[in-house]
Amino acid sequence: LLLKTVQETEELSVYETDHFIMESPGKLPEAERMILARRFETILSALAAVPLNLAVARRPSRKYLVRVCFQEEDFNRAPGLRNGHLKFSPTSFTALLLRDKKGKLLKPGLDPRFAVTHWAAQSMDWDHWLVDGFSAYMAFLPMEKEAPVFRKIPERLAAMVPRAVRTGRETLPALADMLSRDSAHSAVEHGVSSRGGTLQYWADLLWMVYWSHLEGSGKAERLRSYLRVRDTEGGGKARAVLLDGKTPEDVQGEMAAAWKKMGLRLRFSQPASAAADRESAGK
């Protein structure tokens, strides 16, 4: 772990790693400095281990700024979007509150694995659905001795899905709507408790695990092909690769059939386009 001190004054200290610049009011104790650096660098190392040919932990396209705050007043004045004890925005900025009013150390309200993956995926200009799905996947991924564990991931997830989703009482967003989500991505909705946001989270995660572990030979081959084509030929052709010449509804059926083997009876909402067509016909 390479961590160097760039600047230290009574008001501000700046520390730097390969991927992050950390600021804090005053001098940050060495033990806490190392904890912070290791937290974020370990996540990036795990990202590099995911079998999708990702090099984000080895060749960062940009660095991310982490501002360490010790008091709530400093935290509330920092720019970014409030999210538990983490603030972050699409401009690669985050503020991390370490202590509450009584001086007690705090754990982040948002899983750091989600946040770090979110920043890294956005820096690669991925589509909205893929940024969120991959971030949720990394936050879900079991870790042993700071290394990701890929064994029995679908089984682990199937046991965690809420009963209402597992039994089909709650319908997941249509795949067509998920793929067409605005790529001008904002993190504002993450961590905000809402029924729609919860269903979207589970949809993102279930789809990511399906394409990574259940589709085809279970080696994320279609997802890898999608990423390669997207990098070279753009989103339109990449989406065709992802759907494999089928309609989104047909692919939904294949995905639901794969999860049904694990005890899930998933249902999907009608696409927004179909709902609009029905409304027009009614008028």
Distance CA 81, CA 113 (A): 17
* The pLDDT value given to residue 81: 65
* The pLDDT value given to residue 84: 62
* The pLDDT value given to residue 67: 86
* The pLDDT value given to residue 35: 84
Tell me phi and psi for residue 204, to 5 degrees.
Answer: -55, -45
How many other CB atoms are there within 10 angstroms of residue 145's CB atom? 5
* The pLDDT value given to residue 242: 92
Residue closest to 89 by CA, chosen among 98, 99, 79: 79
Distance CA 8, CA 15 (A): 9
SS (H, E, C) the chain: CCCEEEEECCCCEEEECCCEEEEECCCCCHHHHHHHHHHHHHHHHHHHHCCCCCCCCCCCCCCEEEEEECCHHHHHHCCCEEECCEEEECCCEEEEECECCCCCECCCCCCHHHHHHHHHHHHCCCCHHHHHHHHHHHHHCCEECCEECCCCHHHHHHCCCCHHHHCCCCCECCHHHHHCCCCCCCCCCCCCCCHHHHHHHHHHHHHHHHHHHHCCCCCCHHHHHHHHHHHHHCHHHHHHHHHCCCCHHHHHHHHHHHHHCCCCCCCECCCHHHHHHHHHHHC
CA distances in angstroms from 46 to 43, 49, 50, 116, 182, listed in the order given = 5, 5, 7, 11, 27
CA 225 to chain centre: 20
Q: Is the whole-model pTM more than 0.85?
A: no
* The pLDDT value given to residue 187: 44
* The pLDDT value given to residue 99: 80
Q: What is the dihedral of CA 129, 132, 135, 141, to 10 degrees?
A: -70
* The pLDDT value given to residue 196: 65
* The pLDDT value given to residue 120: 79
The pair of three-digit structure tokens given for residue 118, joined into one six-digit string: 């979110």
For the chain, list residues with pLDDT below 50: 183-189, 191-192
* The pLDDT value given to residue 248: 95
